[in-house]
Amino acid sequence: MIIFLLLLLVILVIIIIAIYNGIINLKNNVARSWSDIIAYERQKIKLLPDLERVSSKYLDHEKSLLISVTSLRSAIAAVSPGSIDTKALSDIEQKTQSVLSGFKAVAEAYPNLQSADVLRDLMAEMIKLEENITAAVTIFNRNVADFNTGIEVFPSSIINSLTTRLSPVPIFNDSSAEYNFEYKFNAQ
């Protein structure tokens, strides 16, 4: 009888450890995918000086764009890969959209600039970054959904409340950024 109870206890401990490790894995996945987003957001900062340099002659006439760029740069610098802040991310994405549309408007307003290969390449690079951020956010949202389910379902919810006491993470949902990434194959 005692052996049976001991065996049961050992099995119970193994199950608890497995669930605990599962929760930690899910949490780390969320943290990793968040870091990915921040890493890609920070890459924008590297591109901004080049964009400004290429269109500097014209930016004197586009004061509002200059302000948007500065504002975007400081917003990106403020977010941390260590703490998940979806509101800040939403703010960055809105500012990015504004900067991108600003540069597009500049390119259209000054045809000479539009023909410049450098600006075209920089804009293409920026768009690629945006596509990667969109994809990274999709992965982040999936991981968040897995994590939230992982800590809310029984018996994980009990283990979570007794050990890690982690709270659900809000899913990133921003209408302006349109983060419903679904890859469509090109038509040949």
Partner 1 sequence: MPSKQTITTANDEAISVGLIKLEAAVNNKLSNQDLAKLFSSIAINTPIIEFTNLRYIYLFTGSISVLIFSLFNFTYLGYIAVLFIFLSPLSAIFSISLIVIRHFRITSLNQKLQQLYQINLMGLQAEIFDSSAKAEELASLYYEFQRGNYSREVTSLHCGVSKGKTSELDYQLIQFHWVDKRIVTKHYQDEKGNWKQRKETVYDNFYRTSILVQIEFGIEVYIYNYEGTYRGVQWKSTSTRFNNIYKVYGETEITIAKLLKPAVVLLLEKLAEDFKGLNLEFSLDNTLLISMRQTDLLDSSVKLSIKQPAVTAELLLEKALQPQITKLLSVADEIGRFSISEFKRN
Report the alpha-carbon angle 42-125-50, nearest 5.
Answer: 70
Whether the Cβ atoms of residue 181 and residue 138 lie closer than 8 Å to each other? yes
Which of 23, 27, 38, 40 binds partner 1 (CB under 8 A)? It is 40
Comparison of 114 and 132: residue with beta carbon closer to partner 1:
132
Binders of partner 1 in range 47-76 (CB under 8 A): none
Residues contacting partner 1: total by CB under 8 A: 26
Q: What is the DSSP annotation of 109-127? A: H-HHHHT-HHHHHHHHHHH
CA 23 to chain centre: 21
The neighbour count for residue 35, using CB atoms within 10 Å, is: 16
Which of 142, 156, 157, 174 binds partner 1 (CB under 8 A)? It is 142
Determine, following the binding rule CB under 8 A, whether residue 188 of this chain makes contact with partner 1.
yes
Whether the Cβ atoms of residue 106 and residue 113 lie closer than 8 Å to each other? yes
Of the ranges 4-12, 26-34, 107-115, 163-171, which one interacts with partner 1 (CB under 8 A)? 26-34
Binding site for partner 1 (CB under 8 A): 29, 32-33, 36, 40, 125, 128, 131-136, 138-140, 142-143, 146, 181-183, 185-188
